[in-house]
Structure 1
Amino acid sequence: MSSNFIHDNFLLENKYAEELYHNYSKHQPIIDYHNHLSPKEILDDQVYNNLTKVWINGDHYKWRAMRTLGVNEKFITGDASDKEKFMHWAKTVPYTMRNPLYHWTHLELSRYFDVNDLLNEKSAEKIYAETSEKLSSADYSCRNLLRKVNAELVCTTEDPIDSLEHHQKLATSDFEVKVSTAFRPDKAILIANSSYNDYIESLGKAADITIESYQDLKDALRSRIAYFNTNGCRLCDHGLNQISFVEFTESEVATIFKKKRNKEILSDEDVLKFETAILLFLAESYHEFGWVQQFHLGALRNNNARMHSILGPDTGWDSIGDYPQAEKLSAFLNALDSKNKLTKTIIYNLNPSDNEVMATMIGNFNDGSVKGKVQFGSGWWFLDQKDGMTKQLNALSNMSLISCFIGMLTDSRSFLSFPRHEYFRRILCNLVGEEVNRGELPKEEMEWIGKIVADISYGNAKNYFNF
């Protein structure tokens, strides 16, 4: 039985919210400037045979919910059939009420497949059959899924050793949605990792440089930055617990790198000095090339050692960390700004207790040279839900100018996650519409308020990124 749960005014609680969403936000194109989509699947215009392949595989949000409910790993990441995995997800969905998964699930079914039934154990067979039939059609190929949501640009994330062959072919294809990439060199920074030396060998091969010294490492990374830039890259991204910043000398860092290459034990101070030095070098290089740098801070990763050893990273064993952020982040940004080498910067926090820290930090380095040069990024990962996004929007409004905000991104591995932009836009419009309704914002300025909403939805990101 069809449900009216996802209706035209879902999450919009008054006429002003409705006006802002339907007249100013809804029809704006999507710039998804950070995600983990597969460029190969976009290039191949992949057709997915069923909903599990495109919707459940790789989605650790769903996996965590299923595990919490007691679903056996066989039906999550194991060897069960695609249909069995979907059926166990369908049984889980009614238990996700008040988790954003409940909203996302039904938005995605509605927007991509025109399925407005509530997903549960009773409706699962019908929904699986209906969506599988549609997905087997070229009308639901990977590229058409992006077209359905009015995507203008998607920016994937690649390691410096990536050949970018898929991006190169996409750049000369007839696909009208622009596909770019973000440079993610964290493996070159995290010198304490046991696999670090193996990675440096791979990086050297990609850059065609034998990396024996710290200078060789910098030369290799800069070579890859130039290569990425030639191939249309205009962003980098870092996923770090926190920004490192300690005093160092170049000779100290050269010695630390040599010790690592010789498989000697590094002290904690060695690690911090190296991470500080290489991150500053990278940030100065980003400034040279005119890139936007992104820092995703605060995740406590791979907490379950047993399951990490079985399934590997990015399989749903991460949580929010409580690292101190302000002092080192300030010192890092200040070191770059003092040399006039601070490029456009987006800072995301995963711990909501850092909202006001980040919202005020950006004001320290917005120097008037660029509108919204340093950005407090949207609610991310555990915070990309109604409460998390509302708190981020309020902190940004209270401490800075929300009118300069570059809006939402998916940070997702799924081609069905783009209704998160709609979710964000509805939350934004309702938040602002409520204040108009209460008389806290002037009703006679609805056209101007609508422009601000449209800019946050699309225009600010369009102007911010140099694609």
Structure 2
Amino acid sequence: MKATSSFIHNDFLLQNDFSKILYHSYAKDLPIIDYHNHLSPKDVCDNRKFNTITEVWLQGDHYKWRAMRTLGINEKFITGKATDNEKFLKWADTVPYTIRNPLFHWTHMELMKHFSISEILSPETAKKIYSSTNEQLQSLNHTTQGLLKMNNVTLVCTTDDPIDSLKNHSRYAAKEKEMKLLPTFRPDNSYAIGNSSNYLEYLNQLEAKSNIQIKNFEDLLAALENRIDYFHETGCRLSDHGLENLYYFQKGTCNIEQIFKKIKAQRPLEIKEINYFKFEVLHFLSTCYHKRGWVQQYHLGAIRNNNKRLLKKLGPDTGFDSIGDYSQAKNLSRFLNSLDKTDQLAKTILYNLNPSDNEVFASMVGNFNDGSVKGKIQYGAAWWFLDQKDGMEKHLNSLSNIGILSCFVGMLTDSRSFLSFPRHDYFRRILCNLIGDDVKNGILPRDEKWLGKIVSDICYHNAKAYFPF
């Protein structure tokens, strides 16, 4: 294998002259608003310095872990007790075999962006790259805040449970940094009643944080609203929810207080009761978001923790989730309509994980855009298994064909890694190339100023205007 990765160059992915103009003049240098990620607020606040490239690059990255397992690499070198050096060498063994997976592009874009390394990562180059990256990581340019500044990130929204103290967000805000660090309200655990003993333990923690004793369902809602107010005071203006699909029922279909009593008594629940409980909580939370002017996000369609043997051994979020095939349209429509009919539908971003739902979601958002706000209901960026070149292009095409691309609020990282921000650059290049191809093929007029403005809006300005930060 040749050592150089010269394919990552200034015009990477830009396959015609107009796409190069759009990217270099209107997209490349724009700031980044990363409105959804899973970064550690403590690491940001403490300006963490990483000891090795393994710490910042491989820990917590289940994309890489899945690839390594597929190649037959022992778990010792993935999440196990091998040294950082040993784990990195195994990742270097893996990279040459990831061709046509986005990991191959991301790996070399991240090496180039953060470490000015243009070589292909392979067994032959691994030792040199490990040494060079580790050395550079000791500089202030490569701390967590240094990496964010290097990528021109102006705002980071982390993902936080209602029981989180948000102390790191408050500590960071007191330092008056140029870049903002804000929480996102992620209440999935507040309606995760499938395991009653775990849920009751969570309620105890919610009681302590809200200072509200939760004896019944109304108390639960009061405690959650209390935490929403606390998050709001700390700068939060976003919520997020990870669900297989949304739920809808006519109010009163089940007796919600009876369901809550069964939870408290740890009695078995019927599937209908579990889903009704989720609907009632989600509907209430959505009205709270609307009242405070928040944006709500729904990530729909993942089937999680498929491998129960390895879930028991390694825990959740370790690389055993995949695309689900749930029915989405009808209940999604009914849920949004139940809020809209009382004019309590907040700004909403919908993300699908199954690509067969692209057109369903792209068309659904148009049902609830009412002229009150530009792009009030958004078809969110290609997510998780879809945030690669083909997935982004399909998402952009579905949005263009059925909705209004020019209103789109753009890309996010959805990542736990401080090296993942070149994904914004990846998106920007793909967007510019897509529009540039249309100009080249005579499908769009060659109007640089007009198309350049649309590109810059999608990459930055739409998000800046949309989110109430």
TM-score (ref. length: structure 1): 0.99
Q: Corresponding residue for 1:304?
A: 307
- Runs ≥4 in structure 1, deviation > 3 angstroms? none
Instruction: Map residues 18-417 of structure 1 onto 2, 5 A cutoff.
Output: 18-194=20-196, 195-249=198-252, 252-417=255-420
Task: Find the aligned partners of 1:410 and 1:16 in 2 and give their Cα distance.
Answer: 26
- Residue 90 of structure 1 aligns to a residue whose secondary structure is helix
Task: Find the aligned partners of 1:269 and 1:248 in 2 and give their Cα distance.
Answer: 13
Task: State the AA in 2 paired with 1:398.
Answer: N
Q: Contact (CA 8 Å) 1:406, 1:456: kept in 2 or not? A: yes
Task: State the AA in 1 paired with 2:38.
Answer: H
Task: State the AA in 2 paired with 1:212.
Answer: K
My pick for the range that moved more, 322-331 or 254-263, is: 254-263
- Residue 408 of structure 1 aligns to a residue whose secondary structure is coil
Residue 265 of structure 1, CA deviation:
1.2
Task: State the AA in 1 paired with 2:139.
Answer: S
Task: State the AA in 1 paired with 2:232.
Answer: N
Task: State the AA in 2 paired with 1:277.
Answer: E
2:460 is equivalent to residue 427 of structure 1: no
- Residue 296 of structure 2 aligns to a residue whose secondary structure is strand
**Which stretches in structure 1 are left out of the alignment for 5+ residues?**
none
- Residue 183 of structure 1 aligns to a residue whose secondary structure is coil
Q: Contact (CA 8 Å) 2:305, 2:321: kept in 1 or not? A: yes
Task: Find the aligned partners of 2:371 and 2:233 in 1 and give their Cα distance.
Answer: 29
Q: Contact (CA 8 Å) 2:170, 2:234: kept in 1 or not? A: yes
Task: Find the aligned partners of 1:30 and 1:3 in 2 and give their Cα distance.
Answer: 26
Residue 175 of structure 1, CA deviation:
2.3
Cα separation, partners in 2 of 1:43 and 1:250, compared to 1, 3 Å:
farther
Q: Please list the CA deviations of residues 11-63 of structure 1 after superposition, one character each: whole Å capped at 9, or x if unmatched.
A: 00000000000000001100000000001001110000111000000000000
Q: Contact (CA 8 Å) 1:45, 1:141: kept in 2 or not? A: yes
Task: Find the aligned partners of 2:383 and 2:298 in 1 and give their Cα distance.
Answer: 11
Residue 248 of structure 1, CA deviation:
3.2
Q: Please list the CA deviations of residues 150-182 of structure 1 after superposition, one character each: whole Å capped at 9, or x if unmatched.
A: 001010000000000000011111421111111
Task: Find the aligned partners of 1:245 and 1:286 in 2 and give their Cα distance.
Answer: 18
Q: Corresponding residue for 2:464?
A: 462
Q: Corresponding residue for 1:439?
A: 442
- Residue 296 of structure 1 aligns to a residue whose secondary structure is strand
- Residue 158 of structure 1 aligns to a residue whose secondary structure is coil
My pick for the range that moved more, 133-142 or 77-86, is: 133-142
Task: Find the aligned partners of 2:251 and 2:349 in 1 and give their Cα distance.
Answer: 25
Task: State the AA in 2 paired with 1:287.
Answer: H
Task: Find the aligned partners of 1:265 and 1:14 in 2 and give their Cα distance.
Answer: 61
Task: Find the aligned partners of 2:22 and 2:270 in 1 and give their Cα distance.
Answer: 55
- Residue 243 of structure 1 aligns to a residue whose secondary structure is coil
Task: State the AA in 1 paired with 2:24.
Answer: H
Task: Find the aligned partners of 2:254 and 2:106 in 1 and give their Cα distance.
Answer: 51
Q: Please list the CA deviations of residues 237-265 of structure 1 after superposition, one character each: whole Å capped at 9, or x if unmatched.
A: 00000001122329811111111111111
My pick for the range that moved more, 25-34 or 270-279, is: 270-279
Q: Contact (CA 8 Å) 2:188, 2:242: kept in 1 or not? A: yes
Task: Find the aligned partners of 1:131 and 1:174 in 2 and give their Cα distance.
Answer: 30
TM-score (ref. length: structure 2): 0.98
Q: Corresponding residue for 1:449?
A: 451
Task: Find the aligned partners of 2:68 and 2:322 in 1 and give their Cα distance.
Answer: 16
**Which stretches in structure 2 are left out of the alignment for 5+ residues?**
none
Q: Please list the CA deviations of residues 283-338 of structure 1 after superposition, one character each: whole Å capped at 9, or x if unmatched.
A: 00000111000000000000000000011000000000000000000000000000
Task: Find the aligned partners of 1:54 and 1:177 in 2 and give their Cα distance.
Answer: 20
Task: Find the aligned partners of 2:248 and 2:192 in 1 and give their Cα distance.
Answer: 14
Task: State the AA in 2 paired with 1:65.
Answer: A
My pick for the range that moved more, 262-271 or 377-386, is: 262-271
My pick for the range that moved more, 260-269 or 308-317, is: 260-269
Task: State the AA in 2 paired with 1:318.
Answer: D
Residue 139 of structure 1, CA deviation:
2.4
Task: Find the aligned partners of 1:78 and 1:133 in 2 and give their Cα distance.
Answer: 24
Cα separation, partners in 2 of 1:379 and 1:279, compared to 1, 3 Å:
same
Task: Find the aligned partners of 2:254 and 2:276 in 1 and give their Cα distance.
Answer: 11
